Amino acid sequence: MNSSKNTVKRLLSGFKPYKMQLAAALLLAVLNVAATLYAPIVTGQAIDLIVDKGLVFFKGLVPLLVELAVTIVVVAVSQYFMTLFLNKVTFSALRDLRDQAFDNLSRLPLSYIDSHPKGDIISRLISDTDQISDGLILGFAQLFTGVVTIIGTLVFMLTINVKIALIVVLLTPLSLFVAHYISKSTFKFFKEQTAARGDFTSFVEEMTGNQKTVKAFAHEDEAEEDFEALNLKLQKVSTRAIFFSSLTNPSTRFVNGLVYAAVGIFGALSVISGHFSVGKLSCFLTYANQYTKPFNEISGVVTELTGAVACARRVFELIDERPEKNDSHLPNLKHVDGSLTAEKVFFSYDRKRPLIEDFSLNVKSGQRIAIVGPTGCGKTTFINLLMRFYEPDSGRLTISGTPAADVTRSSVRRSFGMVLQETWLKTGTVRENIAYGKPDADFSEIEAAAKAAHCDSFIKRLPQGYDTVISDETGAVSAGQKQLICIARIMLSLPPMLILDEATSSIDTRTELLIQEAFGKMMRGRTSFIIAHRLSTVRNADCIIVMNSGHIIEQGTHSQLMRRKGFYAKLYNSQFEK
């Protein structure tokens, strides 16, 4: 429960920037409740003016009816503006919370993204924050008015009849004890529900994003079975959470009914004995109902807040994840000539499963370095270390004579241009996608880069040309065309070092020849790291590094390695055996 209390405190601290709006909402709540509580007094006075058949004092009723109408207008207006303020404050605070979560997500190391389902992260940012806002909007609205109503009603009841007021005060708190017991029991169920919702969202995101693969392998039935299993789990935990939380309302209403009946009986006896008027009894019954109602609403609020707290905990877990070490105090990498050394580098994703061990490499400025080897040998991992997506467990990487760990990560990454096998385009125009790494580029530069990447012709055939909106999900451009746009993106910024990871895998043979020619121009004078499985594409590399099980086992030019008749020669010949 301590963690729940800490979560609530932390959640409420997010409303500090909006304390003036909250204060205004509280004042409006006071006005709303005061007007609401004044209405029964007017009604009771009107009832006392209706003494008997034919004995109605109409002159006294008219001003009371006008007074009642004004009171109703005040209630409606104050309720409207109070709700407006509370909604604005709540959504503003939740916007700040989402900003914090996404800001931290963007600063988290790649290891976090790789080790957590994307659907679960999406669920924390969207579904969980929506649940928090729903709970807080209901909570604040009913909590504000509820607390003020309890205090105000109690004061009014004590001024009318102390004995009957004591009956109400002594019996009503029973509903709070009931609500507290139920909410304490339901928290764990809401926690299970939010976790199950995250798993469910993750699965749906995974399936919708890979429907082609699912259909290609005729895996629809198995996918439906997995979906049903997750759906059933979500249904069970949701039903359990809702069932136990729904016990709150009838339980508290039962207690409130007992209070109302006790007030009615005791008040009726007082009227018969002549100590109470019918109008005052009517007023008191209304107050008794209004006094118990907030307890019932607050118990419902407790249930809603329980679910909101469970969701808030998941969002705070994302916010509290340790980001990459802040390196803003370090200098930027400057005067990059393209030279690079790796000295006794060790790295593994899992300490129990070594991957790269005692890796050393010396790359001169302007060299074309091809990295080849079987799947899982550490090629892409080495690139991840170059880009500082991961940090070595030990050893040192040096770029242009400067240790990579002694400069900012962003400056290291700006020194490389990456064209990956897996393309990615943001939702936006073709122009914006090409200029992704150089937003201030003018159109002539963008067009020149597109022509160099041989994608200018098909871009101009698009409906709006360079202003056509595309994304990674739409079918406006083919996989090969997406890769050409990604290549144009690098050609526009032209950093001093390049990383080409199977960069022409989705391009037809004719276009590949053109791209290889463009790459030749782009790599001239630049250090390039080329990862390739088709060894025919790396024959012209200045140095071919052959990796296996995280080690460099061979190194040299294509002709040198072929003469040695070692691992590379066997790998190369195996691709051309009949």
Whether 486 is in a domain gets the answer: yes
Whether 81 is in a domain gets the answer: no
If asked whether residues 261 and 375 sit together in one domain, one would say no
Whether 47 is in a domain gets the answer: no
pLDDT given at position 335: 85
If asked whether residues 209 and 294 sit together in one domain, one would say yes
Whether 13 is in a domain gets the answer: no
pLDDT given at position 299: 61
Instruction: Look at residues 295, 301, 298, 284 and name the one whose alpha carbon lies nearest to residue 37.
Output: 284
State pLDDT tens for residues 205-219: 777 767 666 776 677
98 half-sphere exposure, CB direction, 13 A CA radius: 17
Residue with tokens 């000295």: 343
Whether 164 is in a domain gets the answer: yes
Whether 19 is in a domain gets the answer: no
State pLDDT tens for residues 93-130: 888 888 988 888 888 888 888 888 777 888 888 888 88
pLDDT given at position 473: 67
Please, are residues 441 and 488 in contact by the beta-carbon 8 Å criterion? no
pTM for the complete prediction? Answer: 0.67
Which among 263, 291, 320 is the end of a domain?
A: 320
If asked whether residues 350 and 247 sit together in one domain, one would say no
Residue with tokens 């091809």: 370
Task: Inform me whether the pLDDT recorded for 230 exceeds 60.
Answer: yes
If asked whether residues 313 and 402 sit together in one domain, one would say no
Whether 566 is in a domain gets the answer: yes
State pLDDT tens for residues 355-397: 888 888 898 988 888 888 887 788 888 888 888 888 888 999 9
Angle at 56 between CA 52 and CA 58, to 5 degrees: 170
If asked whether residues 520 and 378 sit together in one domain, one would say yes
If asked whether residues 389 and 428 sit together in one domain, one would say yes
Instruction: Look at residues 363, 321, 325 and name the one whose alpha carbon lies nearest to residue 343.
Output: 363
pLDDT given at position 251: 72
If asked whether residues 137 and 258 sit together in one domain, one would say yes
* Secondary structure of residue 337 in the 3-state scheme: coil
Task: Taking residues 34-46, report their average pLDDT.
Answer: 80
Task: Taking residues 489-504, report their average pLDDT.
Answer: 82
DSSP string across 338-399:
S-EEEEEEEE-SBTTB--EEEEEEEE-TT-EEEEE-STTSSHHHHHHHHTTSS--SEEEEEE
Which domain does 488 fall in, by range?
A: 340-574
CA torsion 488-490-493-495 (nearest 10°) is -150
pLDDT band of 2, cuts 50, 70, 90 = low
Whether 382 is in a domain gets the answer: yes
If asked whether residues 372 and 247 sit together in one domain, one would say no
The domain total for the chain is 2
Please, are residues 305 and 186 in contact by the beta-carbon 8 Å criterion? no
pLDDT given at position 73: 93
Task: Taking residues 530-554, report their average pLDDT.
Answer: 81
Q: What is the CATH number of the domain that holds 461?
A: 3.40.50.300
Which among 274, 291, 320 is the end of a domain?
A: 320
Task: Inform me whether the pLDDT recorded for 525 exceeds 50.
Answer: yes
pLDDT given at position 201: 81
Task: Inform me whether the pLDDT recorded for 4 exceeds 90.
Answer: no
Task: Inform me whether the pLDDT recorded for 577 exceeds 60.
Answer: no
Task: Inform me whether the pLDDT recorded for 578 exceeds 60.
Answer: no
State pLDDT tens for residues 438-480: 888 899 999 988 888 888 888 898 888 899 888 766 667 777 7
Instruction: Give the number of residues written for the chain.
Output: 578
pLDDT given at position 296: 65
Q: What is the CATH number of the domain that holds 123?
A: 1.20.1560.10
Distance, in Å, from the CA atom of 445 to the CA atom of 491, rounded to the nearest integer, reads: 10
If asked whether residues 103 and 235 sit together in one domain, one would say yes
Task: Inform me whether the pLDDT recorded for 522 exceeds 50.
Answer: yes
Task: Inform me whether the pLDDT recorded for 231 exceeds 70.
Answer: yes
Average pLDDT, the chain: 81
pLDDT given at position 397: 92
pLDDT given at position 504: 63
Positive or negative: CA dihedral 40, 45, 48, 53: negative
If asked whether residues 238 and 124 sit together in one domain, one would say yes
Task: Inform me whether the pLDDT recorded for 288 exceeds 50.
Answer: yes
If asked whether residues 567 and 491 sit together in one domain, one would say yes
Tell which phi-psi region holds residue 206, choosing left (phi > 0), alpha (psi between -120 and 50) or beta: alpha
If asked whether residues 125 and 156 sit together in one domain, one would say yes
Instruction: Choose between 374 and 182: higher pLDDT.
Output: 374
Task: Taking residues 38-58, report their average pLDDT.
Answer: 71
